Structure 1
């Protein structure tokens, strides 16, 4: 079974509606991701793995006028929304339906200058993450970067408790700022969104230190953690240049 098949179109609709409240400091995370991508010296292609409604893709398109972005996702709802919301970028943005765990999309006609992903890699188990990192390293152009914004697994119960509490606090605060009430926060719990509070088979976050090691093993240099809050982290590395 695909690593993503337990994700349903209703999940996509709920995330499109509520993602602004459910993701801690979503704009900050996108700003961090875009800041870690070198300015291309010529036209370049970026891949956004599991692009969702296209928020990170749009941030890339705004930050890098020479770049085109390919948004990949399994969900038809997500892809339709991304195409509609980013239609003003015309040929600079296109979509592909894919399975993150599949292999067919990992061979590209053009080597991407950057591969990014937000809240998707944690759907792969440890072996799947290691394989993905190796395959992304192989497809990137020299000097290209992989930047991931995702959930990580704390290694002890104290870390899990802290991530759970901080995620709850972030969602409640963002709900109050965005709506003046707690309805999005209540939906966060009704939908059992937090894997630290409601573990399920869909979410398979791995410890951060393991993932940094897998990135180094794949060949990446400058492997680092760039930002972290409430169990959400931005990390990645660079493919050395020729």
Structure 2
């Protein structure tokens, strides 16, 4: 039995509020990502093809679909709860794929019929270890057309040469002014979800899949990401937006 529209809408709405705790100027960051994708796909004869990596409940995919209604969006995630929320609440935004980014065969699971114009992702790659991230960057470079882009919105700490403490403080103060910390946190959201009987089977599957997942961040600074991107075959790579430790990084194939 599928998830009801009302249940999906309720949990996606709470997800959107909850995530404001973790991304400074989250909506602006989404807008910047869409700006980049719109720019690099403007004037192309073919329908733009975009992959959303670690799509969660479809937050970015839905925004891109509204901004680029002619685009074909393929959204991938490993979390059965979030994927079902996306498939139900944002059914028309994307074609959703159940796969683990970085694992063997994940790019084949996307079932792409042409090179990507863009791969986008938000707060989804920071849990990959160095070797998996390096391999994933190489795989994405191979999937993108020449001139295509990888656009990554994430929290990236400063390296030893930057004012790490001040950067984090600026972002925290911005979030505090926006009252972001008034929203429920990640743990509270999942605790509440666990009490919804409609999601019981999906939660059981999620627990099975994540039993051996550490969820530990790789803590790589921006400079390391840029180095790995260039080693992977991207000709240009750099940030196009930043507030505190929140970045939008673009790498051009």
The answer to whether TM tops 0.5 is yes
| Equivalent position SS for 1:219 | coil
1:32 alignment partner in structure 2: 32
1:219 alignment partner in structure 2: 233
1:23 alignment partner in structure 2: 23
Cα distance change on mapping 1:183 and 1:132 into 2, 3 Å: same
| Equivalent position SS for 1:23 | coil
CA contact (8 A) 1:22 1:188 kept: no
Q: Would you say 1:126 and 2:127 are equivalent positions?
A: no
Residue range with higher mean Cα deviation, 166-175 or 48-57: 166-175
1:232 alignment partner, one of 246, 249, 253? 246
Structure 2 runs not aligned, ≥5 long: 1-11, 190-213
Deviations 1:117-158 (A, max 9, x none): 000111112222211111100111222211111121222397
Q: Please report how far the alpha carbon of residue 75 of structure 1 lies from its aligned counterpart in structure 2 after TM superposition.
A: 1.1
Q: Please report how far the alpha carbon of residue 83 of structure 1 lies from its aligned counterpart in structure 2 after TM superposition.
A: 1.6
2:163 alignment partner in structure 1: 159
Q: Please report how far the alpha carbon of residue 19 of structure 1 lies from its aligned counterpart in structure 2 after TM superposition.
A: 0.7
Cα distance change on mapping 1:158 and 1:138 into 2, 3 Å: closer
1:208 alignment partner, one of 222, 226, 231? 222
CA distance in 1, matches of 2:158, 2:55: 25
Q: Please report how far the alpha carbon of residue 13 of structure 1 lies from its aligned counterpart in structure 2 after TM superposition.
A: 10
Structure 1 runs not aligned, ≥5 long: 1-11, 177-181, 192-199
1:109 alignment partner in structure 2: 112
Q: Would you say 1:43 and 2:47 are equivalent positions?
A: yes
| Equivalent position SS for 1:21 | coil
> Between Structure 1 and Structure 2, how many residues are aligned?
211
CA distance in 1, matches of 2:70, 2:160: 44
CA distance in 2, matches of 1:183, 1:151: 20
2:57 alignment partner in structure 1: 53
1:136 alignment partner, one of 133, 136, 140? 140
Deviations 1:144-180 (A, max 9, x none): 211111121222397332243234323322227xxxx
CA distance in 1, matches of 2:140, 2:119: 8
Q: Please report how far the alpha carbon of residue 231 of structure 1 lies from its aligned counterpart in structure 2 after TM superposition.
A: 1.1
1:172 alignment partner, one of 155, 170, 176? 176
Normalised to the residue count of structure 1, the TM-score between the two structures is: 0.76
Runs of 4+ in structure 1 over 6 Å off: 188-191
Normalised to the residue count of structure 2, the TM-score between the two structures is: 0.73
Q: RCO higher in 1 or 2 (8 Å CA, sep ≥ 6)?
A: 2
CA distance in 2, matches of 1:220, 1:158: 24
